[in-house]
């Protein structure tokens, strides 16, 4: 499971590979908009908000679709559809707002910052893997 963490202070995004079961267990069952503690990912003191994601087939998650299911809904706006003209609607497949084992990417933003910067913490984690 890929975890993409966006830092609004620096404008950068960091990609973390959530390989272990503990990292996956942190997110399974959570919904878009919930805040999670990032200690399991090695980011002490950070709080991250779930903003979206996509499943293994590339279907985007939508906040207004309940549960971990995939549905074909009539939509007029992003995520999942960008109409060329105002008022256009289209039936598209999207994923619900709950994270399940079918999700391959999770998008997060930083809500509360820790003592060290994300660049320092994630560079240290990358060095340990190599």
User: DSSP string spanning 13-56?
Assistant: EEEEE--SHHHHHHHTT-BTT-EEE-GGGT-TT-EEEEEEEEET
7, part of any domain? yes
Give the global pTM: 0.86
Q: Which domain holds residue 109?
A: 2-62+101-129
Dist. CA 32–CA 23, nearest whole Å? 17
Structurally, how many domains does the chain consist of? 1
pLDDT in tens, 15-37: 988 776 777 788 899 999 999 99
Q: Is residue 89 part of a domain?
A: no
Q: Is residue 119 part of a domain?
A: yes
Q: Is residue 18 part of a domain?
A: yes
Any domain includes 84: no
Residue 112 confidence (pLDDT) above 80: yes
Q: How far apart are CA 122 and CA 114, in angstroms?
A: 13
Q: Tell me the C-alpha distance between 35 and 52, whole Å.
A: 12
For residue 29, tell me if it sits in a domain. Answer: yes
User: pLDDT tens-digit profile of 53-71?
Assistant: 999 999 999 999 999 999 9
């Amino acid at each position: 499971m890929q975890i993409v963490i966006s830092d609004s202070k620096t404008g950068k995004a960091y990609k973390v590979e959530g390989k272990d079961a503990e990292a996956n267990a942190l997110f399974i069952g959570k919904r878009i908009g919930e805040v999670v503690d990032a200690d399991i990912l090695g980011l002490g003191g950070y709080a991250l908000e779930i903003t979206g994601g996509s499943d293994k087939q590339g279907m985007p998650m939508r906040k207004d679709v309940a549960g971990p299911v995939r549905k074909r809904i009539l939509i007029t706006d992003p995520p999942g559809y960008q109409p060329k003209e105002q008022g256009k609607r289209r039936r598209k497949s999207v994923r619900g707002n709950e994270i399940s084992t079918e999700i391959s990417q999770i998008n997060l933003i930083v809500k509360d910052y820790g003592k060290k910067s994300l660049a320092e913490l994630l560079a240290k984690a990358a060095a340990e893997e190599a």
